[in-house]
Structure 1
Amino acid sequence: MAAAYRDEQEAADKVTRLGAGVDACLFASPVPYDLARRSGVLTMPATYVQLGGAALIAALAKAVMDERIDPRRVSVDVLSRADVEEAYADLGLPVENVHSRDEPGATGTIAAFHERLVRQGSTTGALTCLPAVADRLRAADIPAVRIRPTSAAVRTALHTAALLGAHHRLEESQLTVVLVEVPTLREPVRRAAPRHWRDELRLSLHRLLVQEANRINATVTAIDDHSYMVTATRGSVASATEGFRVLPFAARVRDELGLAVEVGVGMGRTTHDAEAHARAALARTQAGKQAQGFAVDREGRALIPAPRMPPHGTGAIKPKGVEVLARLAAKLESGDTVVDAESAGKMLGVTSRTARRLLRTLVDEGLAWPLPPNRTPQPGRPRQLYRLIVEKLGSR
C-alpha cells in the first residue's frame, strides 16, 4: 500500500490513516521513519531505505561533476557521522573538512545549516537527503546535490520489510495462554459464602469469560473451582489488552460481578510452554510484582508492565492532552487543524504562554506535531505552527 506525502512531517499522519491492518511499514528515508517513531504511532515493525553507503557515494559522484563543488569540503545532513566517514574511507578521501548534521529539524533549520557553511566559505556545497531542503538551497543559489536511494538499496529495504512483516504475522499467530484466578473462590470453605452462591458466581464468571473469548476467537476451560484457562493467539490477546498494557477480562469482571481477578499471560511454541509461562506470570501477579509485567513471552521474558487499574466505579484516567485536543477540535473550523500559540490561547481562554506549554504537551503525547515555523520579514521569533491530530479523538 502506497502512502504519498508532500512533506516528511506528514509521515505520522499517514501511518495513523493506514491503521493496524499493515504488517510492516517501509519509509523512504530515515527522516519520516524517525518522525513516525517519535510520534508514537508505530504499532507494527518498520524500517527505512538506507541513504548511506552506495547512495552517498553516488551523490558524491554527482557532486564531482558540478565544478562548483569540492566533495572534500561539503556539508551532509540526516546521515550519521559514522556513515559519512565510512563512505569517504571507501573512496580514499579526507573527511576533516566535511561537516555533518544528523539531528532532526525543520526544513528551514537544516537549510540554514548548509547555507551558513557555504556563506562562511567553510564548504563549497551541500549533500542533502531532504527534497525540500534541496529546493530551498537551489533557490538561494547554493550548490546542492540530493542523496537518493540506489535501486539496490530500495530492493534491500523491500526485502527487509517483507521479512519483518512475515515475522510479525508469525508472531501474531503464536500460541498464548491466559490464566484467570479468583481469590474470592479460592478462600477456604470455612470462610466462604453459602455453596449455592459460589456455584452461581462460578457460572456467571464462566459465562462472562466465554463471551469475552468468543470476541477474540479463543476457548475457555475451567481448571478447578477458582481458576480458568483461556487459549488464544498472541495477536488476539494483544488486541484485547491494548498491546499488553491492561489486564485482560479484569475490568469487565470487576464491573459486572464485583470480583477482583488475578491474571497471568504466557506465550510458547507449545501449549505446555505457554501454560508454564502463564503460571510464572500469574505467580508474579500474586506476589504483587506487576511492575515486572503480567505477560511472559515464549523466551520467558516479561512484556510491557500492566498499569494500575482505576478504583472500582471510576473510568480510566485520560491523558491531559486528550482533553486539550478535544476542546481545540470543538472550536476549529471545518478542515482546519493547524494552530499556533496565539490562536490556541484564544480558543482555550488562556495566555499564549500557557497555550504554548499545552501544545508542547500535545506533541509529547503524540496528539500533535510541530510544523516548520513561518519565515516572515518582521523581527522577532517566527510563529510556530502545530498540526493537531484530531483523528486520534475517534480512537479513544
Structure 2
Amino acid sequence: MDTNVSDRTATAVVSSNAGVKVGIVCHETVLSNLQTVLRSVPAAVPLFQTYRHRDQALEAADKLAGKAEALLFSEPDVYREAEKHIALHIPSDCVSLSGTSFIRALYKAERKFAGTGLSVDTVTKRQAEQIWTELGEYSRPLYCCDEELLADPFKVMEFHRYLLAQGKTGMALTGMRQVADELTRHGVPNEWISPSDQDVAGSLNNLIAAVGRHYQQSQVVIGIVRLEPQAHEPANASAGSAPGVTGREHDIRRLLVSFADSLEGEFTQLNNQEYMFVTLRRPFEKVTHGCRKIPLAKEMEQLFGLSLNIGIGFGFSARHAGAHARMALTHSLQAGSGTGFIVREDRGVMGPLEMTEPPKLDLTLIPPDRIRRAERAGMSAAYLSKLMVDVIRSGETRYTADELAELLGVTLRTAHRLLVLWMDDKMATIVGEQRPAGKGRPKQIFNLVFLAEMTKGMVSA
C-alpha cells in the first residue's frame, strides 16, 4: 500500500470546502493583473492589501497575518523585510521571478535604449548571466547587484545610479517597484522586471500546497498499542510473585513512555493490554522516517517476549485521530502480530509498516547498579542498548547532540534534554566544539563517560 501522501492530497485537504484564504500583499500597480491571474486558481480565496511605498507594505502584511491561512508578496524585497519584522506563523512566500520575466524586461529595455551595458537587481547573478549568455550578449557588459544590498532600496538605487554616472551602463533593470519609481524620478533609464502571469500562478499554487503540508504536519496523531504474550508462550508465562510482575510492568511502561517521549508526545495506559500515545504529525514523521519505520515491536519481543500490534490514526481533531487509530489497529490485528498500520485523515490506509531496527545488546552483561544509575538519569533500556552497541562497534563515546538524536531516533530537542540530565548526574561532560566548514554556530561535543565505564573490556583495541 502507498506510504506517501502527495502534495496534491495535501492541497485537497485544505481546499475541499471553501478554498485557502491567501493574503496578497502587492504594489498597487499590479493589483489588476493579480486579480486577473487569481481567477485561474480557484483553490485560492484572495484577501488583498495594497501599498504604494515599502513602509506601508509591512502594515498591510500585519493586517492580513491574522486573517489569512497564507501570505503571498508581490515583491521579493518586501517579503524579506516582512520576515525580519513580522512573526509569520503561516506559510508565506513571494512571487518568484522567472527567466521569462527577465527576458521580457530586457526586450522592453532594448526598444528604449539599445546597445549599452545593463545593471540588474533582484534576479540572481547566476540566472542573469545564464540568460545573458543564451542571448549571445557577449559584447555588452552586465552588472548584477550583490544580494547583501537588496535589503536596502536606497543602496540598490545608488548601485544603478553609480554605474550610469561612470558611463558603464545606460539602462537599469530592477525587480523593485520603489527603486524603479525613484530611478525614473532621478532621470535614470530603467525597466521594472514585473512578474509574468505564469510566475504568479506558479507561486500561488506552490503556496497552497505548502498550506496543505502545514495543516498535515499540525495534525493530531494517536497510536494504540496492544501487547499480548507470543503464541508459543503460555498466558501465565510471565506470572510469578507480585513484585516481579510489578517490576516487569514498570519496565514495559518505561519503554513505551520513552517511545512517546521521542515523539514529543503524551502516553497513557488504557487497560491491561492496551496503551495509547498522542502527539503531532511533524515529530511523528521525523522519528519514524516519514511514517515508514516504527522500531517498537522488536524491542517488546526481545526484552519482554511480547507480541505487539499498533494502530495509528491521523486527524484534524483528537476524535477523528482516535477513531482512525482504532481502524488501523483492526487492520494490524487482521495482519498478524508484529505489524502496524496507519489510517490517514482521509481514511486512506498505510501499511504494513516496518517494525524492525538494528541489533540490541543483552543488558544482562552490564552490572545492575550501573543500569539503575543510567535509568535514574532518564536513560531507558532502549536508549542504553543503542548507545552501547554503537560504542562497542566504534570505540568512540563522544557525540554531538545531532549525532545522538540520529542514533537514538529522537528529536534534537529531546537529545539536548537527555544531555542536560546526564551532565547533572556527572554521566556526560562537554569536551570540545565541532566547527562547521562554512557559516554556522559550532556544535558542542559531549563525552558520555558512563558508556566508557559500562563497555570497559568490551571495546576492541
| Interval of TM-score (by shorter of Structure 1 and Structure 2) | 0.3 to 0.5
Q: What TM-score, normalized to structure 1?
A: 0.48
> Rg larger in 1 or in 2?
2
Q: What TM-score, normalized to structure 2?
A: 0.42
